[in-house]
Amino acid sequence: MTWTLLDRCCEKCTHSLENPCPDYIECRLSGPLCHDDERCRELRRRRLEELRYGEKGAKIKVPMASCTLAMGAEAVYRAVEDSVKKIGLEATVAISGCYGLDFIDPWLELAAKGMPTAIYANVKPSDVPRILEEYFVKRDVGGAFALKEKTGAAKGEDKVPLLSELGFWAKQYKWVSRNCGVVNPESLEEYVASGGYRGLSRAFKLGPEATIEEILKSGLRGRGGAGFPTGMKWRITRQQKATPKYVIANADEGDPGAFMNRLLAESDPFRIIEGLTIAGYAVGANQGYVFVRAEKPLMAKRLQKAVEEARRYGLLGKNILGSGFDFDIEVILSAGAFVCGEETAMIAAIEGKRAWPRQRPPYPAEKGLWGKPTAINNVETLAHAATIMAEGAEKFAAVGTEKTKGTKMFCVTGAVKRVGAYEVPIGTSIRTLVEELAGGPPEGVRVKAVQVGGPSGGCIPASLLDLPLDYETLQSAGAIMGSGGIVVIGDENCMVDVAKFFLTFTSAESCGKCIPCRVGLRVMWSILDKITRGEGTEEDLQVLRQLAETVRSASLCALGGTAPNPVLSTLRYFMDEYLAHIREKRCPALVCRALITYRIDEEKCIACGQCALNCPASAISKTEGGKYRIDESVCVKCGVCYAVCPVKAVYKVSGAG
């Protein structure tokens, strides 16, 4: 068995699970602390190097997260194993999390002593033998996407940029996501080697009150959307007399287009587990729960594995690190309901009931799980807490705005060149994120709007891209920070249709408990549907706005309270599009199907027959001239022909035809 950093270095070490050493974590890296022995120090040094370059001096990392797996990372992993055997390479093959740069998936990272660590992008299994040979045999990094450092020892180093120089990396502030793509998410040892669990050790030395003080001093606010000060939440929970108390990690990341929590949990799960343990210690809870969204099972698997590892090494269980504090965690996988992200609904779900939210107050901090004081925090918040306890409140508060300190992970998706998750200081402008980090829209597309904050957020027009991303500014612009999902909407999209899309989502996800949300959203949806069919009136717009205000103010929970935002914000910024549908019976973006007609340009048509083959309504037939034509009386306007035509001969025109 290989000696790991988590093991005792020699017989003199006093640490054991029965009698844990309070300095266990610090001792892993800068030890030994209780005795002095050069051999023990050397053991640590050698192991740290092994973690970086593998036991054989060469290491290949394959990212295994949902995003890279969907792009074929598993096949790449197998190809790496095969090639290593074939070439007879002495190399360690390991898994890692993901950098959050979706546009380079799947990627590979190669490291060897004396060589610059190199990242290869968009790797296909068939590329693997060539890449390995170039790097390890020819010592040539010319084909890499980016290097982590330059050593001058490898060929082709000049041709490849440093990762830290690339705009989408340099402009990020890697605080809570620092380990994503760097460490093996299933290895507690690597987490500890990266500085993990220093936060919990420090919390134990400070005591619960001072831990809460430290979090308050950092200015950390909830990253799940509402922005409530985390230290305050902990303090209120701590002050309650009722016992037992509970802590819950909200990993029910449900906003479409948001995947920062998934990325974090799949890439650096121990940080979340550490954060929840600190929360438990601070509020005085001995049991924690992590509630994970159903659609993200790998997240649950990694967190579960992290819990088991932490138990194995005494970082969960009885008398953690000799502090006298007992704590354990259960990971629960949801079965799919957006409303579970609402804290009182999540509590009901954990109690084995329907996930129905309830009226607040009392807030969960007073009466939560089983009616006991409960602190619920988003997983990014908890990961921030762990990092703050390790690095200190001042470092965290060094970036951000006056009112909101620190960083936030944002996911930029939709009409951009570089879809990904980016961590930036709060207060960074939307434009910086969309244009500099995510690379702006693809060729031929103009940004029309950005949708910030998921279905509860609003659509901000392109003219306001310079707004800074912070809780207060977004709110006054009609959006919300939410979980930090930013969907970039190009000019090929219709804003009425987008508003209708979000209402389709929220009305389907309404739990049904309160009437404003259950009925109100449905009626709002039917009005939008009527408008997209060209049957709307200007009076409908008034009713729509009135309903939106009612649903917003009268709903029981935040789902209904924020669901009208996409409608209100599009009414505010894109009234011209609503009016075009109503007055001219025209959809300016040519999206709403009742208002458009599909035609085939016979000049462009190459008679390949793909449209006719795929048409579900058999509305397309060959003309005498050998080209294809759409019979408008049969056409159902599904748009399949438009999507499959290889030469873009199918086009749309305004008018019902």
Query: Interface residues with other proteins (CB under 8 A)?
Result: 66-67, 69-71, 102-103, 105, 253-259, 262, 289, 294-296, 330, 332-338, 349-355, 411, 413-415, 419-420, 451, 454, 485, 487, 489-490, 493, 498, 501-502, 504-505, 511, 610, 614, 616-617, 638-640, 643-644
If the CB atoms of residues 67 and 514 are measured against other proteins, the closer one turns out to be: 67
Number of neighbouring beta carbons within 10 Å of residue 205:
14
* Contact by Cβ (8 Å): 581, 595: yes
Minimal distance, residue 410 CB to other proteins, in Å: 12
Q: Measure the CA–CA gap between 469 and 403, rounded to whole angstroms.
A: 12
Please work out, in degrees rounded to the nearest 5, the angle formed at the alpha carbon of residue 183 by the alpha carbons of 282 and 207.
15
Q: What backbone torsions phi and psi does residue 110 show, to the nearest 5 degrees?
A: -115, 140
Taken as a whole, the chain contains a residue count of 657
Minimal distance, residue 462 CB to other proteins, in Å: 15
Name residues whose C-beta falls within 8 Å of residue 327's C-beta, 6 or more positions apart in sequence: 277, 280, 281, 285, 286, 287, 288, 316, 317, 320
The single-letter code of the amino acid at 153 is: A
Minimal distance, residue 332 CB to other proteins, in Å: 6
If the CB atoms of residues 51 and 521 are measured against other proteins, the closer one turns out to be: 521
If the CB atoms of residues 20 and 254 are measured against other proteins, the closer one turns out to be: 254
State how beta strands 596-600 and 246-251 pair: unpaired
If the CB atoms of residues 616 and 626 are measured against other proteins, the closer one turns out to be: 616
User: For 107, how many CA atoms within 13 A lie in the half-sphere containing its CB?
Assistant: 24
Q: What backbone torsions phi and psi does residue 412 show, to the nearest 5 degrees?
A: -110, 120
Minimal distance, residue 177 CB to other proteins, in Å: 15
If the CB atoms of residues 68 and 83 are measured against other proteins, the closer one turns out to be: 68
If the CB atoms of residues 397 and 607 are measured against other proteins, the closer one turns out to be: 607
Minimal distance, residue 465 CB to other proteins, in Å: 18
If the CB atoms of residues 320 and 369 are measured against other proteins, the closer one turns out to be: 369
Minimal distance, residue 418 CB to other proteins, in Å: 9
Minimal distance, residue 350 CB to other proteins, in Å: 5
If the CB atoms of residues 136 and 145 are measured against other proteins, the closer one turns out to be: 145
Minimal distance, residue 648 CB to other proteins, in Å: 14
If the CB atoms of residues 569 and 610 are measured against other proteins, the closer one turns out to be: 610
Minimal distance, residue 426 CB to other proteins, in Å: 22
If the CB atoms of residues 226 and 332 are measured against other proteins, the closer one turns out to be: 332
- The structure tokens listed for 19 are 């009698």
Minimal distance, residue 509 CB to other proteins, in Å: 8
Helix (H) / strand (E) element for 575: namely: helix 575-583
- From the list 1, 49, 38, 44, the residue with the least C-alpha distance to 26 is 44
Minimal distance, residue 656 CB to other proteins, in Å: 19
The sign one gets for the Cα dihedral 396, 399, 402, 405 is: negative
Q: Measure the CA–CA gap between 597 and 486, rounded to whole angstroms.
A: 32
Q: Measure the CA–CA gap between 218 and 396, rounded to whole angstroms.
A: 6
Beta-bridged to residue 425, according to DSSP, are 407
If the CB atoms of residues 40 and 265 are measured against other proteins, the closer one turns out to be: 265
The sign one gets for the Cα dihedral 28, 34, 38, 39 is: negative
Burial grade of 36 (CB within 10 A; 0-12, 13-18, 19 or more)? exposed
C-alpha dihedral (527, 531, 537, 542), degrees to nearest 10: 50
If the CB atoms of residues 206 and 638 are measured against other proteins, the closer one turns out to be: 638
* Contact by Cβ (8 Å): 125, 82: no
Q: How many helices (H) and strands (E) does the chain have?
A: 26, 18
Name residues whose C-beta falls within 8 Å of residue 543's C-beta, 6 or more positions apart in sequence: 527
Name residues whose C-beta falls within 8 Å of residue 616's C-beta, 6 or more positions apart in sequence: 636, 638, 640
Minimal distance, residue 625 CB to other proteins, in Å: 25
* Contact by Cβ (8 Å): 600, 629: yes
Beta-bridged to residue 596, according to DSSP, are 654
